[in-house]
Each structure stands twice: as structure tokens, then as C-alpha cells.
Amino acid sequence: MDCIFCKIVAGELPSYKVYEDEKVLAFLDINPVNPGHTLLIPKEHYETTLDTPDELLQAMAAAMKKIAPAVMRAVKADAWNLGVNNGAAAGQIVMHTHWHIIPRFARDEHRLWRGEPYAEGEAARVARHITDNIKA
């Protein structure tokens, strides 16, 4: 497999590891939004969060709850974002499930989305379609 994250897990590529247990690994992003920006991955290869088994997602969530406060304390951040890109159109570059733990600062001005309001009646229609698809 030619997955850069799998190579990091296997020890074939270097990384700045900050956390590891039997199921997950966390290391610094080499292109950080802010210092301390950490990637959290399952050690097993799955392309997206939806492909990843629930037990691994639970392990990732438990690890995230340990890592995020440590990142905040280490870099004296004011807050943090959890970023999850699923698929190329969403900005996923490495096709291995990963979560971004991004420390944020009150004045860093890193905007995540442009936040445009729905057109008249659009929100109700979209909500109905999502609900219908959940039931399907």
C-alpha cells in the first residue's frame, strides 16, 4: 500500500508523534494551521470516517479527548477545532481516516467557512431530504 499514514504507522517515515496506543496514533501535521496542529489516525487503514469501524472511531474519540486539552495547554491556545475531511471534494488529501485537532487563538483569523444563509424554503427542503435519507 502506498499510504503515507500507513508508512508512518509502520515506522517507515518519520513523524513527530504525540500520542500512541494499540489502535490509534497522533502526530503533528507537517503543514499546520497553527503550531500544535495534530493529526489523529487509526493504525488500520480505512479511507474515510464512514469506512472506519465504530470501535476504532470510539478509540479515536477517546484519544481526542486526551490530546486536545494537551495541545491547548502546550501551545497556550484559546480554543480548538476538530476537522474531518471525507473525500477529495471535502479537502481530504491523504485517503486514510484522520482527524485534525487544530489549536485556535482569539486573533488568528483562520476562517473555516463562509456561512451563507439558506434561500427562502431551502432549509426545510434540505432538512426533509436528510431525514428521509436517514430513514431509508
Residues annotated as part of the active site: 98
Helix (H) or strand (E) holding 102: strand 99-104
3, 96 Cβ separation under 8 angstroms: yes
For residue 32, give the DSSP letter.
-
**Geometric angle at alpha carbon 8, from 66 and 26, rounded to 5°:** 10
| Distance from chain centroid for Cα 91 | 11
63, 19 Cβ separation under 8 angstroms: yes
- Cα-Cα-Cα-Cα torsion 76, 33, 65, 41, nearest 10 degrees, comes to -140
